[in-house]
Chain A
Amino acid sequence: MTNSNAKTARYAQTLIAGLWRENPVFRLLLGMCPTLAVTAAVKPALTMGCCVIFVLICSNIIVSLMRNLLKPHLRILMFTLTIATFVTIADLFLKAFVPRMSEMLGPYVPLIIVNCIIICRAEACASKNALVVSIIDAIGMGIGFTVTLCVLAAVRELLSTGKIFEVSLMPDAFVPWAAMSMPVGAFITLGLLLGLVNTVTGKKA
């Protein structure tokens, strides 16, 4: 009984770690390229997040299943091969079923292959843990990444267009800040949010 309780507690902890304590963007500062590149609006950010969740779960499953067969010097090669496969599949699905979104995201979907969140989770978690923990870790990290991306995107979209999901939220007198949809807006928003998170958690630089 205590054993299963301890297990559940561990699973819950793993899940929550990805959301806040080890949030991939705000705390680990991983995956900065998509974080900066696709957060001009909420929709592409959400799509990107879903793709990353899919790839993360699939790659963690595969890596966890073959963790005892991995040769240490060939492991990164195996991780990349696994990740590349699922990214290609995700990319094909996007092209087939949401072609407009696929165009919007452009090269950033194939670039998930080199997203360090996924390699990091394969190396730090899936290659050392059993299947269930790896899947829970992937879900936690994936959702943490997606939520962060959406927060960043919501701020940028609101300031650059005055709308979120086509719904006008700003007063009529609001003048859109075009710069917020450009790279400069991404850097400024990310910097301010990181500062905010560090203030809340009391972390010193």
Chain B
Amino acid sequence: MSKIKYFVQQSWLLIVASFCFGLLIAVTNAALSPTIKQNEINKRNRLVKALLPEAKDFILYEEQIEIQPFRGKTENVEIYRAVSEANECIGWSFEAVGSGFADKIKLVIALDKNFEKIAGFDVLSSNETPGFGDQIKYDYFRGQFKGAPAGELKLVTVGEPGEIDSQIVAISGATISSEAVVEIVSNYVTQVKEQMQKKGIIGNDEQ
């Protein structure tokens, strides 16, 4: 009995404070979490809208796609259908994550409605080296993906960045960052495409 008394005597302040502080955080979180969620959605929509300019709204597709972008790791991808003002599907977008040079790179990738061509990607979050790796955000690098075929992409060190094909010219001085982006885009696009064809969401190329 005296042991319990001693315990309470010593720690009552800690217990009371933990409870009060926990409550304080819970209230703040409840008040702010809708705004935070909306901010994230706004950002993604803003980026995708730049890639698919005709899109008016983005609707979450009811079916989640399960893929294995990197060895042994299964991931659920939420696919968004971009619709125009006339309510026609004009493209698709989804988020993709992979390891970069310093930290994870989180991208949002957009494709045309038949999954034939990549409409482009943008960086949601990354922590690549300023001046080198962070050039993955620059237009000259991202531009190479715009209109590239939705399939395997290949990183090359020498080439013409203006040419739109499955070859992506690496950023000089940032091979690892370039490689990471190409790998993320390539893996996600091919696997999501494959799964969506299997499920019959989009037409089959071979037919």
Residue B172 is within 8 A (CB to CB) of chain A in the complex: no
The distance from the CB of B175 to the nearest CB of chain A, in whole angstroms, is 18
Q: Which of B24-32, B53-61, B88-96, B178-186 contacts A (4 or more CB under 8 A)?
A: B24-32
| 3 pairs of A and B residues whose beta carbons are closest in the complex | A178-B131, A85-B21, A96-B35
Contact between chains at B21 and A82 (CB < 8 Å): yes
Residue A93 is within 8 A (CB to CB) of chain B in the complex: yes
Residues of B within 8 A of A111 (CB): none
> What is the chain B residue whose CB lies nearest that of A66?
B13
The distance from the CB of A199 to the nearest CB of chain B, in whole angstroms, is 31
Q: A82-B21, A85-B25 are in contact. List 5 more A-B contacts (CB 8 A).
A: A71-B10, A74-B10, A78-B14, A89-B28, A182-B131
How far, in whole Å, are A92 and B33 apart by their CA atoms in the complex? 8
| Residue from A66, A84, A92 in contact with B32 in the complex, judged by beta carbons closer than 8 Å | A92
Residue A118 is within 8 A (CB to CB) of chain B in the complex: no
> What is the chain A residue whose CB lies nearest that of B34?
A96
Interface residue ranges, A against B (CB under 8 Å): 40, 66, 69-71, 74, 77-78, 81-82, 84-85, 88-89, 92-93, 95-97, 99, 103, 106, 178, 181-182
| Residue from A71, A78, A178, A181 in contact with B17 in the complex, judged by beta carbons closer than 8 Å | A78
| Residue from B14, B25, B130 in contact with A77 in the complex, judged by beta carbons closer than 8 Å | B14
23 CB < 8 A contacts A-B: A74-B10, A74-B13, A78-B14, A81-B14, A81-B18, A82-B17, A82-B21, A85-B21, A85-B24, A88-B28, A89-B24, A92-B33, A93-B28, A93-B32, A95-B39, A96-B36, A99-B36, A99-B43, A178-B130, A181-B130, A181-B131, A182-B130, A182-B131
Residues of B within 8 A of A81 (CB): 14, 17-18, 21
Residues of B within 8 A of A82 (CB): 17, 21
Main secondary structure of the interface of B (DSSP, over half): helix
Interface residue ranges, B against A (CB under 8 Å): 10-11, 13-14, 17-18, 21, 24-25, 28-29, 32-33, 35-36, 39-40, 43, 125, 127, 129-131
Residues of A within 8 A of B28 (CB): 88-89, 92-93
| Residue from A69, A99, A181 in contact with B13 in the complex, judged by beta carbons closer than 8 Å | A69
Residues of A within 8 A of B10 (CB): 71, 74
The distance from the CB of A177 to the nearest CB of chain B, in whole angstroms, is 10
Residues of B within 8 A of A99 (CB): 36, 39-40, 43
Residues of B within 8 A of A74 (CB): 10-11, 13-14
Residues of A within 8 A of B43 (CB): 99
How far, in whole Å, are A69 and B10 apart by their CA atoms in the complex? 10
The distance from the CB of A65 to the nearest CB of chain B, in whole angstroms, is 11
Residues of A within 8 A of B25 (CB): 85, 88-89
The distance from the CB of A93 to the nearest CB of chain B, in whole angstroms, is 7
Contact between chains at A96 and B32 (CB < 8 Å): yes
Residues of A within 8 A of B36 (CB): 92, 95-96, 99
How far, in whole Å, are A182 and B130 apart by their CA atoms in the complex? 7
The distance from the CB of B34 to the nearest CB of chain A, in whole angstroms, is 9
Contact between chains at A70 and B131 (CB < 8 Å): no
How far, in whole Å, are A82 and B17 apart by their CA atoms in the complex? 8
How far, in whole Å, are A77 and B17 apart by their CA atoms in the complex? 11
Residues of B within 8 A of A40 (CB): 130
Residues of B within 8 A of A96 (CB): 32, 35-36, 39
| Residue from A77, A92, A106 in contact with B29 in the complex, judged by beta carbons closer than 8 Å | A92
